[in-house]
Structure 1
Amino acid sequence: MTDVRDNPAERRFELTIDGTTAIAAYDREGDTLVFTHTEVPDALAGQGVATRLIAGALAQVRERDERIVPACSFVAHYVTEHPETRDLIA
């Protein structure tokens, strides 16, 4: 998911489509990211954007050998539905 980028200055992952950006906000605690909020603008709703965003974010977390705390309900649901990501939970 190379179109998902980490923006550490804003503490969020971003996915921009047609000039509109969806975000997955996080707080960093060492090598753990606490996902706090996922937001998809109305213009992108219903297109699977949040799923693409979180899949891309978790792929980067895995590449960096980090862990997550899914405090955001969407991230928690994603992890439940994708058991292959559960090993990322701190």
Structure 2
Amino acid sequence: MSVEITSGEDRYDIAVDGKPAGLLETRTRPDAILFLHTEISDDFAGQGLAGKLVKAALDDVRSQGRSVLPYCPYVRSYIAKHREYEDLVPEDKRAEFEL
């Protein structure tokens, strides 16, 4: 199984063996990137793809030196479980996202 994650305008996409499998919708603001919605196709559910997609997106944001506002419940949950990404959420916004 080949998994490919790409970024485009206002989204990250994940594909498995060349087939679209899901996306993470974003919006870029001057102060942060808003993570709005994560969705994996039913055909690919239960394979851990959402976690791979969110991890890749968070790593990309970190490499850009940007911050994240995790409005998507899945992304919030991921950050809560993987505290190494908590620093991407501005300190003054963490309480808003229960982090």
The question of a shared fold, defined as TM-score above 0.5 by the shorter chain, is answered with yes
1:44: how far off?
0.7
Shift of 1:89: 0.5
Amino acid of the residue matched to residue 84 of structure 1?
E
Query: Tell me, which stretches of 5 or more residues in structure 1 are unaligned?
Result: none
Aligned-partner Cα distance in 2 for 1:52–1:17 = 12
Q: Aligned pair count? A: 87
Distance 2:79 2:16 in 1: 24
Secondary structure at the counterpart of residue 25 of structure 2:
strand
CA deviations over 1:28-52 (Å, ceiling 9, x no partner): 1114111110000001100000000
Which residue matches 2:95?
Answer: none
Secondary structure at the aligned position of 1:3 is classed as strand
For the residues of structure 2 that align with 1:26 and 1:67, how far apart are their CA atoms? Answer: 12
- Length-normalised TM-score, structure 2: 0.83
Q: Partner residue of 1:43? A: 43
Q: Are the counterparts in 1 of residues 13 and 20 from structure 2 also a CA contact under 8 Å? A: no
1:4 corresponds in structure 2 to 5
Distance 1:56 1:3 in 2: 10
1:5, 1:57 within 8 Å by CA — same for their partners in 2? no
Q: What are structure 2's unaligned runs of at least 5 residues?
A: 91-99
Taking the aligned partners of 2:13 and 2:23, their CA distance within structure 1 comes to 5
- Runs of 4 or more above 3 Å deviation: none
Say whether 1:13 aligns with 2:12. Answer: yes
When the two structures are superposed, what TM-score results if normalisation uses the length of structure 1? 0.90
Q: Which has the higher contact order (CA 8 A, sep 6+)?
A: 1
Q: Distance in 2 between matches of 1:81 and 1:50?
A: 14
